Structure 1
Amino acid sequence: MKQRLVSLDVLRGFTMILMTIVNNPGDWEHVYAPLLHAEWHGCTPTDLVFPTFLFIVGVSVVLASPDQSSDGIILQRILTRTLRIFCLGLFLSFFSRIHFGGLEDAALLGFRLAITAIVVVTLFGNYDKNWQFWIVVIMFITMIILAFGGFKDFESVRIPGVLQRIAVVYLIVSLLYWRTGWVTQAIVGVAVLLIYWAIMTLIPVPGIGEPNLEKGTNLAAWLDNFLLPGHLWATSKTWDPEGILSTLPAVGTGIAGLLTGQLLRLDIVQSRKALYLLAGGLAGIIIGFLWNFVFPLNKALWTSSFVLYAAGWALLCLALLLYIIDIKGYGGWTTFFVMFGVNPMVVFFFSGILIRILNVVKVANPTNPSEQMNLVPYLYQYQIVPRFESPYNASLTYALLYLLLWSLILIVLYRRKLVFRV
């Protein structure tokens, strides 16, 4: 088994911690600005969370790759993991829409949890067996049929998503690493960024006119709505921040991680690696910032300038952590972050499922006992908000309490040395 790079686990853990906080405020109307995505163009610390995770996916493809395996086994592992991650993302969209007969309330929740248990057993764990691959294929095909087969419960289920994008990027960068060298990978990375820039700024938008980068009227939005009508982000309905066309430059983010992983495996002193990471990070931030003047930083569109800018910050953070932890040996403080870093899929998937479960549980409304309300708003409105003068502090406290809950869960997993792979 390969030795883990603690600095990478810490960076992944920090990313998951920040993701848990920004995804779970008590009140979306009262969130401190750094914990929100940019309204459209621009970049906040929150906008850097997802690209940093995708960057780490690329790094991990290198560091976790087997030294010797047959081509058939490698390909099967890549395809199986891709489908598992994609299916996990799809299931998050499906969970709240699952119905069976006339089941309601507790019975319906129990049925959904039973289905979730089957999904978890199928998608977490060993995936070297050929029969496991075909089970995942069947699960994927089943969900696609449910989404597009005219079934009322799933006719508007969201198809794109965070895990789905991770799956696609993982697939492409894994195949690149398997079959090409770093020079080819770098050329592909530069090419996808330039091609995406040209596509978004030179090709007219059907039915709209001139190329543009505005919300809902750009070419990426048109393609999302053309190929996946009714299956997009609920907030917009006509485009998706993890849409089809914008996944192309996201591959560039994964390739940046791929190249970084190969740098980390070089037989050179760690201090030189940290220096190279620092130089690459500064270059990415500067070039991305300058490109921003003609192709604005935009997380929802995943613009090419955003790819370089976000990768630059990821490189800088990794360089700093590599220097502090792996070179200087100051690692006594890292356990909390490593707990989150070694089980990222557990945190992402089950935190999403847990919120959905809690939103189904009903309690009496204190202001009108004859009515019921969902548990989550009850806890926030009646147990947290009254204790704070500032609604922003109340909202942040709710997110931190949810983080604390996950910290307690991960302490148990970490102490028992339980690491769940997808």
Structure 2
Amino acid sequence: MKQRLVSLDVLRGLTMILMTIVNNPGDWEHVYAPLLHAEWHGCTPTDLVFPTFLFIVGVSVVLASAPNVSDQIILQRIVTRTLRIFCLGLFLSFFSRIQFAGLEDAALLAFRLAITAVVVVALFGNYDRKLQFWVAIALFTIMLILAFGGFEDFKTVRIPGVLQRIAIVYLIVSLLYWRTGWVTQAIVGVSVLLIYWAIMTLIPVPGIGEPNFEKGTNLAAWLDNFLLPGHLWATSKTWDPEGILSTLPAIGTGIAGLLAGALLKSNLEKPRKAFYLFVAGLAGVLIGFIWSFVFPLNKALWTSSFVLYAAGWALICLSILFYVIDIKGFKSWTAYFVMFGVNPMVVFFFSGIIIRLLNVVKITNPAKPSEQMNLVPYFYQYQIVPRFESPYNASLVYALLYLLIWSVILVVLWRRRLVFKV
């Protein structure tokens, strides 16, 4: 078993913890500003969560590479993992739309849970690699047929998503690392950022006119709606924050991780590695900020300036953690964060499933006994809100309670040494 880099696990854990908090407030109308995404242009700490995870994907590709493995096995592993991650993301979109023979309430919930169990075994299970490959292809094909085959329940199911983007970025950076050196990777990384900037600033938007960076009228939004009409983010319906064109610069985020991983794996002395990571991070933040004056920082568009700015902060954080943990040896405080860091897919996938499950459960509305309400808003409105004067504090406490639930789950997995890989 390879020696894990504790600082990287801690950074991944911190990222997952922040993701859990920002994705699960009690009330979206009352959230402290740093725990919200920027309305459009700009960048908050919350906006840094996803790019940090993609950056870590790139680092992990390098550190997890195994020598003396045949090309066929490497390619099969890359494709299988890509399909498994993509399918997990697709299933989150499909879950709430699953119907069968007119089932309702508890029966429908049980049926959805049964399907989820099959998917979990198929995509998280550790069995024969060739079988994993064909099972992933089968699930991927089935879901695409359901989405595009004219089935009423799935005709507007969302196709893009966070896990889907992670899968695509993982695929590209893994192939790059497999077949190229760090110089080529750096050239590709810079090229995708410049190409995306040129596409977004020089190509007119069909049916709209001049290139622009505005919500819903930019070229990325047009391409999303042109290629995947009806299969986009439910909030916007006509564009997607994890859309097609904006995945191009997201590859640049993964490549930044590749380059950081190459530095960490080099023969340089550890203090020098930490120094170079920190300097590269400062450079990324500065260049990204300067570039933002002409190409604004924007997570939804994943602008090239945002890639550099976010990767810069990820590098700075990793350099500090690497220095403190792996060089100075201060590790006694890290266990809680490592618990989240070694099982990220479990946290992300089941967080989505749990919320969807709880939203199915109904309970009598105390204010209107003749009506039913979902369990989650009931618990928040009647068990948490009355205990706090500030609705912002109540909303934050709900998110922290949800984090506590996950902490308990992960403690159990940790003590049993259970790590689930996709």
What interval of TM-score do these two structures reach, taking the shorter chain for normalisation?
over 0.9
2:252 matched residue in structure 1? 252
Q: Letter of the aligned partner of 1:421 in structure 2?
A: K
Q: Secondary structure at the match of 1:97?
A: coil
Equivalent residue runs for 1:189-200 within 5 Å: 189-200=189-200
Give the distance between the partners of 1:394 and 1:127, measured in 2 at CA.
44
1:210 matched residue in structure 2? 210
Where structure 1 has 5 or more consecutive residues not aligned to the other structure, the ranges are none
Identity %: 83
Equivalent residue runs for 1:19-418 within 5 Å: 19-126=19-126, 129-418=129-418
Q: Secondary structure at the match of 1:170?
A: helix
Give the distance between the partners of 2:243 and 2:132, measured in 1 at CA.
29
TM-score for both structures, normalised by structure 2 = 0.99
Deviation, 1:131, is 2.1
Deviation, 1:127, is 6.0
CA contact (8 A) 1:127 1:133 kept: no
Q: Secondary structure at the match of 2:96?
A: helix
Deviation, 1:66, is 1.1
Q: Letter of the aligned partner of 1:378 in structure 2?
A: Y
CA contact (8 A) 1:10 1:337 kept: yes
Give the distance between the partners of 1:192 and 1:121, measured in 2 at CA.
37
Give the distance between the partners of 1:127 and 1:185, measured in 2 at CA.
33
Q: Letter of the aligned partner of 2:44 in structure 1?
A: T
Give the distance between the partners of 1:108 and 1:125, measured in 2 at CA.
25
CA contact (8 A) 1:208 1:217 kept: yes
The range that moved more, 264-273 or 76-85, is 264-273
CA contact (8 A) 1:73 1:128 kept: no
Deviation, 1:130, is 1.2
Give the distance between the partners of 1:233 and 1:278, measured in 2 at CA.
36
Deviation, 1:129, is 2.1
Give the distance between the partners of 1:54 and 1:86, measured in 2 at CA.
14
The total of aligned residue pairs comes to 422
Give the distance between the partners of 2:165 and 2:91, measured in 1 at CA.
14
CA contact (8 A) 1:83 1:140 kept: yes
Decide whether aligned partners of structure 1 residues 127 and 242 sit closer, same or farther in structure 2, where only a CA change above 3 A counts.
farther
Q: Secondary structure at the match of 1:164?
A: helix
Give the distance between the partners of 1:263 and 1:128, measured in 2 at CA.
33
Deviation, 1:125, is 3.2
Give the distance between the partners of 2:128 and 2:267, measured in 1 at CA.
30
